Structure formats: C-alpha cells, structure tokens
Homo-oligomer: A and B are copies of this chain.
Amino acid sequence: MNWLTVLGLVAGVCTTSAIIPQLYKAWRSKKVADLSPKMFFILTMGVGLWTVYGVLRDDLAIILTNGISFSLNATMLVLYFRYKTKN
C-alpha cells in the first residue's frame, strides 16, 4: 500500500466519521434548533449518489465510505426531526 493510498484512506475516514461528534451531541443534548436539516438532507442525497457512482464503477472504497456516510447522515436527519418536535 503506497502512501498516497494511505492519504486517501485517512481523508476518507475523516470525512466519513466527521458527523459522529454531531450525532453524539444531538443524542446527548436532545437540542437541534441551531442545526440546518437542509444540510443533512443534501449531504444524505449527495453521499447516496456517490454510493451509486461507486457501485457502477465497481469501486469498493467509494461504496464503503459513502455507504457509511449515507447511514450516518440519514440517522442525523431522524434525530433532528425526533428532537425538533419534542422541544
């Protein structure tokens, strides 16, 4: 594995996992008023399209990173609408 691949892997882990602190904060605080649901909706659509792109190009790295991002962003949307109605 050359270091360029390592660079891509580290970048992919960062962009895929970045939403986890926001998911945790929303789950703990139950407060989402300052968040923009449009951001998570567009992100979910975008990484969904990237996942389809990866399937059509048979590229496992694109499928995995964006597939995980899709589920994390979709979860964030669910938390947003659940807590928004509660507050």
Residues of A within 8 A of B (CB): 4, 7-8, 10-15, 17-22, 24-26, 29, 31-36, 38-40, 42-43, 45-47, 49-50, 52-53, 56-57
| Interface contact B57-A11, CB-CB below 8 Å | no
The residue of chain B having its C-beta at the shortest distance from the C-beta of A7 within the complex is B53
B46 near A11 with CB under 8 A, answer yes
**In the bound complex, what is the Cα–Cα distance between A63 and B10 (angstroms)?**
16
Q: How far is the CA of A21 from the CA of B52 in the complex (A)?
A: 24
Contact A42 B18 (CB under 8 A): yes
B43/A18 in contact, CB under 8 A: yes
Whether B34 and A33, one on each chain, are in contact in the complex, defined by CB atoms closer than 8 angstroms, is yes
Closest beta carbon of chain B to A25's beta carbon, Å = 4
